[in-house]
Chain A
Amino acid sequence: MFENIRLSFKGIFSHKVRSFLTMLGIIIGIAAIIAIVSTIKGTNEQIKSNLIGSGNNNVNVAVYQGEWQMDFQYQSPPEGMPVISDDVKKELENIKDAETVSLYRQRTYCESIYHMNTSLEGGSVYGIDENYFSAAGYRIKSGKGFGERDFKGTQKTVIIDNKAAESLFPGEEPVGEIIDIMGEPFKVVGVAVQSSKFEPVINTYEDYQLYNQDTSSGKIFIPTNAWPVIFRYDEPQNCIIVAADTDSMTAVGKAAEEILNGTISVQDESIKYKSENQLERAESLQKLSDSTNTLVICIAGISLLVGGIGVMNIMLVSVTERTREIGLKKALGARKKVILGQFLTEAAVLTSIGGLIGIVLGIVLSQLISKFADVPVAISSVSILVSVIFSMIVGIVFGLIPSVKAANLNPIDALRYE
């Protein structure tokens, strides 16, 4: 075996140009696959980290009617959809891998938010519990924020985010001021900002589209107990659950959906709790990029096929050229399987060298792509391993016909061959 490999190397190096040309198809095929796979992997990792914001493992479970999240601005809560009770909340907290559960209510567009005569156009209002900020990834930038009194009593206090602060209090300190929500005065006790790691990175138009729903002009947060002061007390809540890790997000979301949907008995069956997490979105985006790249992988595969046929062709020529050698070896007592092994090894060594060159070229290529096209790449060791094995297999498969031909040569015909 080692003898065969050593002789194969000898043979390959004694025909450098020919061997290189033979390998070219394999080299190009493998290089293309490595470059494509690295680019896909890099892009996927970027999408994933952008969407999930590396560390924000939260799952949002909200009330949907069909495809759309329900907003109780224009419609009243449906019959049979109760407010989430403490018992149900306990159940949610007991879901495996669920770390924090926060219940909240939301008005996406609240027309009536004023400071003096300045209005917050298109601002959203959130009625939140004590877990909301940590679950959704906010921190208080100024002011003391909500305390126990705010959550337990019915304090008319509000925290506004930095966007709302800019709109309502240009150049002023909002903390301590009064704003007017739906005609009720609320005292500003803090300004909140989303922690930067929760902030999505927007690189492409797709990212932008994905996040344009978040481009509201500002958010304001009131304690959930104050919600009935301006809105209905019986509105069902949405919930945010922080999962232990990224991979458990989907499972946690599904479990929460099940629990919450078990509490409702709405006539309109399209009204349901639905979980939505960033990972799912990331995965659907990845699927899109995967499917476009499947095509490219197919093309690379065809290139490997053509490379394999090239190997077969050269091996057939080589068998004819070496008819004498084969005949001699048979005369000296080489059995069929020895000749078969020799030629198969030669084909496999040839394509493996091609594969290795292809891998190096592919890595260089992906670095160039990442430099010039500004696409991230992540070279996967799996794809390298697969490439080596695959190119070896190409050699063995396409070397089979020539090798069998060599093994079956009649020794006298072979010796007579001039």
Chain B
Amino acid sequence: MVLELREIYKDYMQGKDAVPVLRNINLSVEEGEYLAVMGPSGSGKSTLMNIIGCLDRQTSGMFIFDDTDISTCKDKELSEIRNRKIGFVFQNFNLLPRQSALENVELPLLYAGVNKKERRERAAEALVKVGLEDRMNFRPTQLSGGQKQRVAIARAMVNSPRLLLADEPTGALDTKSGEQVMELFRELNDEGVTIVMITHEREIADHAKRIMFIRDGELSNLNGGDSL
């Protein structure tokens, strides 16, 4: 098992009032799974992803990632888990604008303390894998949206994480680039990479092997009914 959520609740404080965003979330993800979480805007998808990604803490409940109870981890340990065990892909790419594709992909290795030579080699390898061997020294501004997202995927995968976590990875892309990204996800999953993807588009979610729905902070196997 890669991760398990048990009775997870998350409230945000709005002034004095606690606004519940996630309610009683129960979910487990097995090795090699490809899960899509769907839900309308504001339903708590990103909040869920932040908890799974060890970027935020639940208000109550238990979150176990790779056999570790995350609520007991300190900042240092969380950084290490994010660095070595999770690869993030964001809707808006989040590449550093002044650094080349190669340097962007090197970042997680830098924080993992890998030496320069090995960083170069492994980052280049990851870029080759996403089909960007001829764009390594380009800056993000010189790349198309689809290419940027592929750089981001290379960056997410460069440390060989246990989990690839994607929040609306195709949200900022045209259909064709989106399809390419989905192609890449499938390939990675075929190689055994566990993927959790958040999206509000049915066509994108259909690429996954399992789909869950989130509505008003509650997770279920069923589509809530209304078209999204």
Q: Which residues of A contact B (CB under 8 A)?
A: 3, 10-11, 14, 324-325, 328-336, 338, 410-412, 415
Contacts and interface: CB of A to CB of B under 8 A. Distances in A.
B117 interface: no
Contacts of B76: 335-336
A167 B85 CA distance: 102
B111 interface: yes
A331 B84 CA distance: 11
B79 A10 contact: no
B128 interface: no
A334 B98 contact: no
B152 to A, nearest CB: 10
A415 B82 CA distance: 15
A335 B79 contact: yes
Max chain B C-beta neighbours (<10 A), residue from A331, A332, A335, A338: A332
Among A329, A338, A410, the most chain B Cβ lie within 10 Å of the Cβ of A329
Contacts of B98: 10-11, 14
B228 interface: no
Contacts of B94: 324, 328, 331, 415
A338 B112 CA distance: 11
Contact of B82 (A332, A338, A410): A332
Given A325-B96, A328-B96, A333 B82 contact: yes
20 contacts: A11-B98, A324-B94, A328-B94, A329-B107, A330-B82, A332-B107, A332-B155, A333-B79, A333-B82, A333-B108, A333-B111, A335-B79, A336-B75, A336-B76, A338-B111, A410-B56, A411-B56, A412-B50, A415-B55, A415-B90
Contact of B84 (A328, A329, A333, A336): A333
A335 B74 CA distance: 11
Contact of A334 (B53, B55, B79, B84): B79
Nearest to A331: B88
Interface of A is mostly: helix
Interface in B54-109: 55-56, 75-76, 79-80, 82-84, 88, 90, 94, 96, 98, 107-108
B156 to A, nearest CB: 9
B149 to A, nearest CB: 14
B110 interface: yes
Interface residues of B, number: 22
A333 B90 contact: no
Top 10 nearest A-B pairs (CB, nearest first) are: A333-B83, A333-B111, A328-B94, A335-B79, A411-B55, A333-B82, A332-B108, A412-B56, A334-B111, A412-B50
Given A10-B98, A332-B155, A412 B75 contact: no
Nearest to B50: A412
A185 to B, nearest CB: 97
B79 A330 contact: yes
Interface centre among B75, B79, B110, B112 (most CB of A within 10 A): B79
Nearest to B94: A328
Contacts of B111: 329, 332-335, 338
Contacts of B75: 335-336
A412 B55 contact: yes
B56 A333 contact: no
A102 to B, nearest CB: 73
Contacts of B53: 331
A34 B56 CA distance: 51
Nearest to A11: B98
Contacts of A3: 110
Contacts of A332: 82-83, 88, 107-108, 111, 155
A335 to B, nearest CB: 5
Given A338-B111, A412-B56, A333 B80 contact: yes
A333 B50 CA distance: 14
A319 B29 CA distance: 37
Contacts of B96: 325, 328
A415 B98 CA distance: 18
Nearest to B167: A415
A46 B53 CA distance: 70
A15 to B, nearest CB: 11
Contacts of A335: 75-76, 79, 111
